[in-house]
């Protein structure tokens, strides 16, 4: 019997962008001529719908580009969130921001409405690479945005970086890491570039016009990242995330710990009451569905017990602390070895998985071959 869990988060999606980056496959649209005010109306209505099921412990506004909203729209968004979702026990309130659209007025709005954490999309401090990947800001803009946020009292700032970019060298990566570390933020997220369908980079790759670092260079870059960030006191707590103690991302940790969360907004995905769901992606369709039903779900999938166990493993193993064997038994009513004994033994023999103090976690080698480990637990 699976026990219910009180932990929950709320993800709110703002799909609007002033430009489209070459690698981005998230649900997004150009800001110009979009029904932004009508979209905010629908967001407020969908928040009301989920409020009836209980208030979240974490709130995360992502995109798209949330800071692409103008100041009036931006403030209105936070008024609606405060009315419907904010309460005294919110543990973390995060907003994604782009350097070119973050200003003093928006920082003051976020401070006034209780935002506790900013996630600033920097990607790289190499101006040539920023142009190559279609970003609208320069490296100086990114540094200035971080400093501006810090002067407005935001001490919990995370930098979002990328590596294995087209034409990126290990020297360029090292220089970006040095610039990032020098800004003194307590959290850095850094992801390798993934080429996804329906992106500019995907089309370039198919036509042979995209030059990417090979797998060996990408692995070397990842090793360099781990070494440099840990050397400067940012501990490696998740495959792609590094933080000073006490600054680990709480909202994203809900995902990795397989907890439930509301997905609010066009194209948002949620996991609630044992059901994974997806909202309508097109903005106008999203607005229509919310006004008709109170929510915008277009697909729902009740997660089976087997799937929940699989997710517990491949999500939990992203965390360096790994998966608790006692928690697994408490949650699912069976010992972990009864379900995954064969896979665990094989991965331990291959040097990819280890068990220590009742927790299964990736070895150093396993961190570099994480996908091989995760795939071993997908049986359904």
- In this predicted model, what pLDDT tens digit does every residue of 194-242 receive, in sequence order? 877 877 787 887 788 778 888 899 999 999 999 999 999 999 999 999 9
Residue 189, pLDDT > 90, answer: yes
Classify residue 319 by its DSSP letter.
B
pTM of the model: 0.94
Q: Kindly state the helix (H) or strand (E) to which residue 353 belongs, with its residue range.
A: strand 353-356
The packing angle between helices 325-332 and 305-316, to 10°, is 160
pLDDT digit string, tens, across residues 280-292: 999 999 999 999 9
pLDDT band at 5 (very low <50, low <70, confident <90, very high): very low
d(CA 157, CA 117): 6
pLDDT digit string, tens, across residues 15-40: 998 877 766 666 678 788 999 999 99
pLDDT digit string, tens, across residues 326-380: 999 999 999 999 999 999 999 999 999 999 999 999 999 999 999 999 999 997 6
Domains and CATH numbers, the chain: 8-256 (3.80.30.20), 305-375 (1.10.10.920)
- Minimal CA–CA distance to 313: which of 280, 347, 273? 347
CB-count exposure of residue 37 (10 Å: 0-12, 13-18, 19+): exposed
CB-count exposure of residue 288 (10 Å: 0-12, 13-18, 19+): middle
Residue 106, pLDDT > 80, answer: yes
pLDDT band at 3 (very low <50, low <70, confident <90, very high): very low
pLDDT band at 4 (very low <50, low <70, confident <90, very high): very low
**More confident site: 6 or 318:** 318
Q: Decide if 66 contacts 97 (C-beta within 8 A).
A: yes
pLDDT digit string, tens, across residues 35-80: 999 999 999 999 999 998 899 999 999 999 999 999 999 999 999 9
Strand partners, 173: none
Q: What is the pLDDT of residue 379?
A: 79
d(CA 370, CA 272): 27
Residue 338: other Cβ atoms inside 10 A: 9
CB-count exposure of residue 219 (10 Å: 0-12, 13-18, 19+): middle
């Amino acid at each position: 019997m699976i026990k219910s869990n009180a932990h929950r988060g709320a993800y709110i999606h703002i799909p609007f962008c002033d430009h489209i980056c070459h690698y981005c496959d998230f649900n997004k649209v150009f800001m110009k001529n979009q029904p932004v005010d009508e979209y905010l109306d629908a967001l407020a209505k969908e928040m009301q719908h989920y409020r009836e099921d209980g208030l979240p412990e974490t709130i995360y506004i992502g995109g798209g580009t949330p800071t692409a909203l103008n100041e009036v729209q931006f403030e209105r968004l936070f008024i609606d969130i405060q009315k419907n979702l904010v309460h005294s026990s919110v543990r973390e309130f995060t907003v994604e921001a782009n350097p070119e659209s973050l200003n003093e007025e928006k920082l003051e709005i976020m401070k006034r409405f209780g935002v506790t954490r900013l996630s600033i999309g920097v990607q790289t401090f190499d101006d040539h690479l920023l142009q190559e990947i279609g970003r609208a800001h320069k490296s100086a803009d990114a540094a200035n945005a971080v400093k501006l946020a810090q002067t407005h009292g935001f001490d919990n700032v995370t930098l979002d970086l990328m590596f294995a970019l087209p034409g990126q060298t290990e020297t360029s990566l090292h220089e970006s890491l040095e610039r990032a570390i020098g800004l003194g933020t307590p959290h850095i997220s850094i992801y390798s570039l993934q080429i996804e369908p329906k992106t500019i980079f995907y089309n370039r790759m198919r036509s042979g016009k995209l030059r990417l670092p090979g797998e060996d260079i990408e692995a070397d870059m990842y090793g360099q990242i781990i070494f440099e960030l840990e050397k400067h006191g940012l501990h490696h707590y998740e495959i792609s995330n590094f933080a000073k103690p006490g600054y680990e991302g709480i909202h994203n940790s809900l995902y990795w710990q397989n907890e439930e969360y509301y997905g609010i907004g066009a194209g948002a995905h949620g996991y609630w009451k044992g059901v994974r769901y997806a909202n309508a992606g097109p903005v106008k369709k999203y607005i229509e569905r919310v006004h008709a039903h109170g929510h915008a779900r277009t697909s729902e999938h009740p997660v089976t017990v087997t799937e929940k166990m699989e997710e517990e493993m491949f999500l939990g193993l992203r965390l360096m602390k790994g998966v608790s064997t006692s928690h697994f038994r408490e949650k699912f009513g069976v010992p972990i070895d009864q379900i995954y004994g064969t896979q665990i033994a094989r991965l331990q023999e291959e040097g990819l998985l280890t068990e220590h103090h009742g927790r299964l976690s990736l070895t150093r080698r396993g961190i570099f071959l994480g996908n091989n480990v995760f795939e071993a637990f997908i049986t359904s």
